[in-house]
Amino acid sequence: MSKYNTLVFAGGQIHDYKSTGPAIMNALSECKDLTLTYVEEDLDVLISPNLDQYDLIVFYYTVGEISDAQKNGLLNWVASGKGYAGVHSAADSFRTCPEYRAMVGGHFVTHPHYRDYQVSVIDQEHAITEGLTEFTVTDEQYILDYDPRNQVLCSALYNGRAVPVAWTKSWGEGRVFYLALGHDGKACEHENFRSILQRGATWAAQPLEA
């Protein structure tokens, strides 16, 4: 089995990336086909050709500003056939950058208070969610504005309507996976968070035709 060189990136404001980043690393360390590198805060790692050594980026970041060189480095790298896996606040990064939002496939709108809520598995045939059934998490539910072309894998109810919890999409020749769970280190310890993240990251790392 191929080893996919993976950059796990954590940083930004508001969220406790100092607990979440290591928790994401811990979950992904169980993936035998991923070779992990961890970076915090330094967005210049996105500038071309810095990402060329990687097959996948797992991204946890909140708000912030992205320069044109950083944005073009990331988006062009994914479009060239690489993988992007965004976790939770990755949908609330770089609010003034519509190109980044388009690549992720959606963006944060609001959230209710941190609480227990039920996640439904919409697509039980996909490699990321195969064999999973509905489950309950204690987390911060992200309410998202999203591209209806996304393949929604999981959803949860908010004010009587289903909002996505996980989706996949493509960006150029690259694969994009987004998981709205994972507000903090404790939420990242949930068994199904870990399982979906592991499968989603591995899926995103593979070439689009795989």
pLDDT per position as a tens digit, 39-98: 999 999 999 999 999 999 999 999 999 999 999 999 999 999 999 999 999 999 999 999
What is the model's pLDDT at position 203? 98
Per-residue pLDDT band for 2 (boundaries 50, 70, 90) equals: low
**Mean pLDDT of all residues in 151-178:** 98
d(CA 112, CA 114): 7
What is the model's pLDDT at position 208? 84
What is the model's pLDDT at position 183? 96
Classify residue 49 as exposed, middle or buried by CB count within 10 Å of its CB (0-12, 13-18, 19+).
exposed
What is the model's pLDDT at position 1? 52
What is the model's pLDDT at position 11? 97
pLDDT over 90 at 210, yes or no: no
Tell me the fold of 4-107+166-205.
Answer: Rossmann fold (3.40.50)
Average pLDDT of the chain is: 96
**Mean pLDDT of all residues in 125-130:** 97
